[in-house]
């Protein structure tokens, strides 16, 4: 009877550990292929693999985007409303910074397909 309980316990632990292992591995794989895509008038200006560091000039200097690791920020813009500057820092797949007056948009995207267990 005691051995049966131990065997059941091992099965339960395996049922918990194995999916968690695959979820963690999948998350790490997704982090390794996160891109920042920057568009000017719907034309792709930059497609950058994160993490990286640097400033990127868009639309002949109207906008400047700074990438600091996984953090993406619009640091300069000559638009009149400044909404893109107020967006602040983005760092997750699906987030975006848009500057409508200058037709500039910046997206964070993951190229992997998310697998939900």
The residues binding Zn ion (CB under 5 A) are: 77, 79, 84, 99
Q: Smaller CB distance to Zn ion: residue 5 or 80?
A: 80
Q: Smaller CB distance to Zn ion: residue 34 or 65?
A: 65
Q: Which residues pair with 65 in a beta bridge?
A: 56, 74
Compute the least distance from the CB of residue 103 to Zn ion, in Å.
10
Q: Smaller CB distance to Zn ion: residue 63 or 93?
A: 63
Compute the least distance from the CB of residue 107 to Zn ion, in Å.
15
Compute the least distance from the CB of residue 98 to Zn ion, in Å.
8
d(CA 73, CA 55): 10
Q: How many whole angstroms from its chain centre is CA 74?
A: 16
Residue among 115, 97, 116 nearest 106 (CA): 97
Other CB atoms within 10 Å distance of the CB of residue 77: 22
């Amino acid at each position: 009877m005691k051995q049966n309980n131990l065997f059941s316990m091992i099965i339960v632990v395996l049922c918990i550990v194995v999916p968690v292992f695959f979820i963690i591995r999948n998350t790490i794989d997704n982090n390794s292929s996160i891109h920042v895509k920057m568009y000017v008038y719907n034309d792709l200006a930059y497609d950058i693999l994160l993490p990286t560091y640097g400033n990127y000039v868009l639309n002949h200097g109207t906008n400047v985007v700074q990438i600091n690791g996984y953090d993406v920020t619009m640091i300069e813009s000559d638009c009149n409303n400044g909404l893109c500057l107020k967006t602040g820092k983005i760092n997750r797949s699906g987030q975006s910074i848009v500057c409508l007056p200058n037709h500039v948009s910046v997206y964070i995207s993951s190229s992997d397909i998310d697998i939900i267990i």
